[in-house]
Structure 1
Amino acid sequence: MRQAAMSDPITEELFRNAISAIGDEMVLTIYRTAYSGVLKNIMDYSAAICDACGRLVAQGLSLPGHLCSIPVALQAVLAHFGDDVWPGDIFINNDPYDGGMHLPDIFIFKPLFASGERSGERSGGQSERPIGYAATICHHTDVGGRVPGSNASDSLEIYAEGLRIPPLKLYERGEPNTTLFRMIERNVRLPGRVFGDIRSQLAACEIAARGMADLVNRYGSEQVTALMVSMMDYSERLTRQCLMELPDGEASFTDWIDDDQIDIGVPIPLVCTIRKRGDSMEVDWTGSAPQVKGAINNTFSYTAAMSFTAVKSVLSVNMPNNDGVFRPIRIIAPPGTITNGKLPAACAARGLTGFRGVDCAFGALAQLYPDKVFAASDGGNTGLTIGGYDKALNPFIYVDFISGSWGARPWADGLDGNTCMFANMASFSVEVIEAENPLEVLDYEFIPDSGGAGRFRGGMAQRKTWRMLADEGVLQVRADRQTHRPYGLWGGGPGAPGRNVMHPGSAGETRLHAKITMNLKRGEVFRHELPGAGGWGPALERDLELVARDLRDGLVTIAAAARDYGVVAAGDPPMIDAAATEVLRGRLKAERTPLPAVAWEPAS
């Protein structure tokens, strides 16, 4: 039975939790029903509820990288269709130059009506206005283009990257758009998997429709609308209050992407300036490189997402993710730059720039709020795809996003084997990789001594090695931080650089570039090593118990303990000689020049 309309704090809190739970249930629905490993194993997707104006109201447990993308994509749909929205309609969009981010990320939107799925017609045939929208975004295994997985970083323009879908109706009043379905089927390498994942998005939207119907039945449509507005206003108030707690100031930071795979060896600057005044903040990317030839250009929504993620991480309250968080934070990203590419800029591998952008924003925030910001993470996850055909010409595509580590924090070590904050993805099960693809995973392990040294050390890097079991295929890798290492803060050292290696440990071992598109033949072995994360604080001030723990765990070797931390150890298991350590640390303190506030250096 519908309850009387209320606007007291208890009702608002119950509503916030109820609608957030719908977003979480949408996320779990995709997890349980998806076909592809990139969704069911890595969890590269998000789900949300938006209001009738396309504003984000509640985002499920998913990716910070999608913080701003959903409302931008939905508002592009609304701009195209206006009032031409009916029960049974389902919208689709992946066009980076019309609301999308990059082509593998397909948005599905379902309008939610107070009357559920009834006809919704008023007198004169006027459509009932939606009360909100269910929104999902999923990274799909393949959307066509020149390279399996549609995610190569060496494409030169958007037209080479795959099928570009402008805002369209996938279903109209409950009827499928058969023309569009056929177009998608003929332009992707694995239509069964792509359509299976689209159906998982549709299922999540149906869950949202049922959840919204329950809320309307409980509160009434007018009160639901008012409570959604209240929820966004609540997040805005919390965000402004948290910003007021921070000192005013301005700081800039420049970091460098190694290159774009086209102009090899030419570093690409990312410049972030943070301006904090009162209850608002400005994140300005002016000074960043012009858009590049390679496919690492951001759309504005992705640059906004990386900016919001960095700022939100230094706030004292974890308020609900919605439009209210965005309002006090202004994003400046000049068009035609790598942070806001213009048509026909390629953008399939824009994830690299987004991950690096978060660390760049942290570099500026660290100067303003040194006790709240951790050192550079591993540079984001590495995107890797291996695709080809078997003897019967059946396609296979393995898509992996290899997660790494967090930078050292002002109060603790960085996290080992944990995806960077902006990605928030899971690790692909080795058993599933081998069961579903013609590949053998030879190792997946931490790399000793790879975390940046410091009072608190950076997270350790990982390596992963594959052997090709098919006759041949295309290997594509999107990685970075092989030249410009993850920075340390306040005397902490930089993390180890990443590496790509063919035939590691053999006479034919060959070092490769960070970004690769190449053929891989049967029996060939490829290894990727992620970068380590940066350290925080002087390494000679590290607690001996922490060094002893890392020595026991094999994360730091005896040689590195002496070199980086001035710790003398021997034996198996290693035992620290406290007296010798005191002497060595005294000598190293006299010899060493203190590292600057931000420790960055090119890889040797």
Structure 2
Amino acid sequence: MTTVNTDPITREIVNNALLSIADTMAMTVVRTARSAVVKDGMDFSTALFTADGQQVAQGLTLPAHLGSMAPVLEGIRRRFGNDINPEDIFACNDPYEGGSHLPDIFVFKPIFMDNEVIAWTCAIGHQTDIGGRVAGGVVCDNTEIYQEGLLIPPTKLYDAGKLNEAVWWILEKNVRLPEKVLGDVRALLSAVRLGERDFRALVADYGKETITAYMYEILDTTERLARASVAKLPQGEWEFTDYVDHDGIDFRPIAIKVKVRLKGDTVHMDFTGTSPQSKGSINPNLHYTRSQCFATIKCLLDAQIQSNSGFFRIFDIFAPEGSFVNPLHPAPLAARGLSGFRICHAIFGALAQAMPERIPAAWGGGEVGLSFTGYTPQRKAWVHLDLINDGPGGGGPHLDGADGLSSPVNNMSIIPVEVAEAEHPIIVQKYELVPDTEGAGKYRGGLAIRRQYQVLVDDTVFQLRSDRTEFAAWGVQGGLPGVMTESRLNPDGENRKLIGKTLMTLKKDDIFRITQASGGGYGDPFDRDPDAVLRDVIEEKMTATRVKDVYGVVINVAKRIVDHDATDSLRKAKRGQGLRPAHSHQ
């Protein structure tokens, strides 16, 4: 390769151009996708790679995909070797070939110039259905991956520009919603082709050797910046264990134990002591586990440090084979999303011991996933996936946890109620904050969120994936935990309490209500600013009774003011008696 003299100014221009290409690919997916999961929920990602498969730029999409795209490309390059040609497009969804879980279909396109690969484009999208025994593909009670849907190994979807019709037909015949699924795959295809066009335009401006040289320099620069940033963090070793309630089959807690060691410029994470892989479908594979490790540390570093393979080099991650965070084939993986959140919680819990001034309390029930599925009288399938990703946030060192904001490692959107009701036979009767549910603290956690659905047709297959029904979102520095998740069937009638992982058939007019776990609090609730407490009471986020018990703040409700003398006396008395703030939630 010709030696290229590089400079930092041009490197930043090229870097921003590559990021712009990845973001434009993402916008292409949003504008052309068919399903609400992709175009509204934003459950997809786009990226660019070097010729040898290193991720150099990711679009502004899902952190959870950080660690999965490069392993899939590695599997494709390993499987096809020299049989990679111009206008080939590859597809894969096999978690044991580098993927994430079966609903995530990865599409890669090589970019050729002068008879050699110079880069790759990638787009991944979560499909509304991927076949399997239960529509939607994210049910918790599968016991092996073969029950979860169609497995696509590294495959040529296009061979030298010609569609592999056999693969297309197999996909079409194995999913319940072929129009949406094939439409979303076409959106991914459009994205990788558009990415190739824009990349070629960049090469035309600077030349192949120059762009190639800058891509590798971007990776090396990211590594240097990331290592320098990590070296400034507190040095040492900290452990934390958080828990998944159970897998819906064996009703035993699943421990996620992590030891985080910051040594010099390297991040070491060791999951020894984590529970064995579960029978049910909530196992996260190793690549997904690594994605969560990357995402948590990224939250602590300068925002200018890029999410690419240079950043990944600073990690040394060990997850025992056969453990919950590194399961062995044919372990099921479909509902692994909630487990990814808990991995992040465990890592943040360890880091909170090292950096309490920077780490917030645990966020609440954003790991909830629901599916309502069935058939119309005309025998046409319908599937509504509601991947609930609205937090709520945990209280932080300087501010309250956000009410209804996505977790720091998610970056997805909520599917609008109007879209859900227009496309499916359901009504969303409630979507509301629940008063008096925050994790109390000097800075409180976000309020629990309640949703209530009415089913409009018989024989609706309903799947619930939730957690935090037994282990609340934890607080930091004396902050209290949040409330736990609760689900009810027909709350105004039989009022049946559901377990966190449920698969059942609903009849017409059944009502399902879920109250998500709230975020934990940060700091002693008796140190909370009384005026902040008053605002919450005025905004009906808390009641005067609760704030008196939990925060020691006395509110004159009629005048909408704080009784400061009574508050000072009450707090002094509670502290003098050595009382912890009450933790009574309605």
TM range (shorter): over 0.9
Match of 2:214 in 1: 227
State the distance in 2 between where 1:536 and 1:199 align.
46
Letter in 1 for 2:396: R
Q: By how many angstroms is 1:380 displaced?
A: 3.5
Q: By how many angstroms is 1:263 displaced?
A: 1.1
Match of 1:105 in 2: 104
State the distance in 2 between where 1:535 and 1:32 align.
39
Matched, 1:544 2:530: yes
Match of 1:587 in 2: 573
Q: By how many angstroms is 1:548 displaced?
A: 1.3
State the distance in 1 between where 2:408 and 2:142 align.
27
State the distance in 2 between where 1:292 and 1:213 align.
46
Deviation sequence 1:182-214 (CA, Å, 0-9, x none): 111111000110000001001111110111101
Matched, 1:575 2:561: yes
Deviation sequence 1:350-381 (CA, Å, 0-9, x none): 11110111011000011111111111111433
Match of 1:517 in 2: 503
Matched, 1:390 2:376: yes
* Kept after mapping to 2: 8 A contact 1:64/1:421: no
Letter in 1 for 2:412: M
Matched, 1:46 2:13: no
Matched, 1:438 2:400: no
- In structure 1, the gaps of 5 or more residues are 116-127
Match of 2:278 in 1: 292
Letter in 2 for 1:229: Y
SS in structure 1 at match of 2:52: coil
Residue 163 of structure 1 is aligned with which of 150, 172, 196?
150
Matched, 1:416 2:394: no
* Kept after mapping to 2: 8 A contact 1:490/1:537: yes
Q: 1:575 to 1:414 in 2, by over 3 A?
A: same
Residue 304 of structure 1 is aligned with which of 290, 293, 300?
290
Deviation sequence 1:253-311 (CA, Å, 0-9, x none): 011111110012x1110001001111111011111010010111111111101111111
State the distance in 1 between where 2:286 and 2:452 align.
35
Match of 2:230 in 1: 243
Matches within 5 A, 1:274-353: 274-353=260-339
State the distance in 2 between where 1:317 and 1:394 align.
46
Q: By how many angstroms is 1:602 displaced?
A: 13
Deviation sequence 1:146-181 (CA, Å, 0-9, x none): 111011011111011000110000010011111111
Q: 1:211 to 1:253 in 2, by over 3 A?
A: same
Letter in 2 for 1:49: L
SS in structure 1 at match of 2:358: coil
Match of 2:16 in 1: 17
* Kept after mapping to 1: 8 A contact 2:436/2:543: yes
Deviation sequence 1:190-239 (CA, Å, 0-9, x none): 01100000010011111101111011101111111111001111110110
Letter in 1 for 2:73: L
SS in structure 2 at match of 1:391: coil
State the distance in 1 between where 2:262 and 2:360 align.
19
TM-score, length-scaled by structure 1: 0.94
Deviation sequence 1:320-347 (CA, Å, 0-9, x none): 1100111111111111111011111011
Residue 387 of structure 2 is aligned with which of 401, 412, 427?
401
State the distance in 1 between where 2:425 and 2:366 align.
27
Matched, 1:90 2:89: yes
Q: By how many angstroms is 1:510 displaced?
A: 1.4
* Kept after mapping to 1: 8 A contact 2:374/2:382: yes
* Kept after mapping to 1: 8 A contact 2:4/2:213: no
Q: By how many angstroms is 1:573 displaced?
A: 7.3
Letter in 2 for 1:163: L
Letter in 1 for 2:534: A
When structure 1 is superposed on structure 2, of 302-311 and 571-580 the one drifting more is 571-580
Letter in 1 for 2:371: T
Q: By how many angstroms is 1:476 displaced?
A: 0.5
SS in structure 1 at match of 2:95: coil
Letter in 1 for 2:175: V
Matched, 1:263 2:250: yes
Residue 170 of structure 2 is aligned with which of 183, 203, 207?
183
* Kept after mapping to 2: 8 A contact 1:485/1:603: no
Letter in 1 for 2:487: N
Report the count of equivalent residues. 583
Matched, 1:474 2:473: no
When structure 1 is superposed on structure 2, of 187-196 and 401-410 the one drifting more is 401-410
Match of 2:548 in 1: 562
Residue 490 of structure 1 is aligned with which of 460, 477, 482?
477
State the distance in 2 between where 1:395 and 1:592 align.
60
Q: 1:356 to 1:573 in 2, by over 3 A?
A: farther
Match of 2:414 in 1: 427
Deviation sequence 1:563-582 (CA, Å, 0-9, x none): 21111114257432211111
* Kept after mapping to 1: 8 A contact 2:135/2:383: yes
Deviation sequence 1:70-119 (CA, Å, 0-9, x none): 1111111111011211111000000011111100011000111236xxxx
Deviation sequence 1:450-482 (CA, Å, 0-9, x none): 221000001112111110012221110111001
Matches within 5 A, 1:52-63: 52-63=51-62
State the distance in 2 between where 1:200 and 1:13 align.
29
* Kept after mapping to 2: 8 A contact 1:390/1:471: no
SS in structure 2 at match of 1:58: strand
TM-score, length-scaled by structure 2: 0.97
Q: 1:191 to 1:285 in 2, by over 3 A?
A: same
Q: By how many angstroms is 1:6 displaced?
A: 5.0
* Kept after mapping to 2: 8 A contact 1:558/1:574: no
State the distance in 2 between where 1:85 and 1:602 align.
62
Match of 1:452 in 2: 439
* Kept after mapping to 1: 8 A contact 2:144/2:332: yes
Q: By how many angstroms is 1:316 displaced?
A: 3.8
SS in structure 1 at match of 2:15: helix
When structure 1 is superposed on structure 2, of 574-583 and 526-535 the one drifting more is 574-583
Match of 2:126 in 1: 139
Match of 2:71 in 1: 72
* Kept after mapping to 2: 8 A contact 1:454/1:536: yes
* Kept after mapping to 2: 8 A contact 1:457/1:534: yes
State the distance in 2 between where 1:176 and 1:358 align.
40
When structure 1 is superposed on structure 2, of 150-159 and 570-579 the one drifting more is 570-579
Deviation sequence 1:478-533 (CA, Å, 0-9, x none): 110011000000100001101111112x1321111111111011000001111001
SS in structure 2 at match of 1:474: strand
Match of 1:217 in 2: 204
- In structure 2, the gaps of 5 or more residues are none
Letter in 1 for 2:450: R
Match of 1:120 in 2: none
Q: By how many angstroms is 1:129 displaced?
A: 2.0
State the distance in 1 between where 2:577 and 2:174 align.
62
SS in structure 2 at match of 1:131: strand
Letter in 1 for 2:106: F
- Backbone CA RMSD of aligned residues: 1.7
Q: By how many angstroms is 1:538 displaced?
A: 0.2
Q: 1:525 to 1:233 in 2, by over 3 A?
A: same
Letter in 2 for 1:402: I
* Kept after mapping to 2: 8 A contact 1:114/1:216: no
When structure 1 is superposed on structure 2, of 311-320 and 36-45 the one drifting more is 311-320
SS in structure 2 at match of 1:97: helix
Q: By how many angstroms is 1:603 displaced?
A: 10
* Kept after mapping to 2: 8 A contact 1:452/1:533: yes
Percent identity over the alignment is: 42
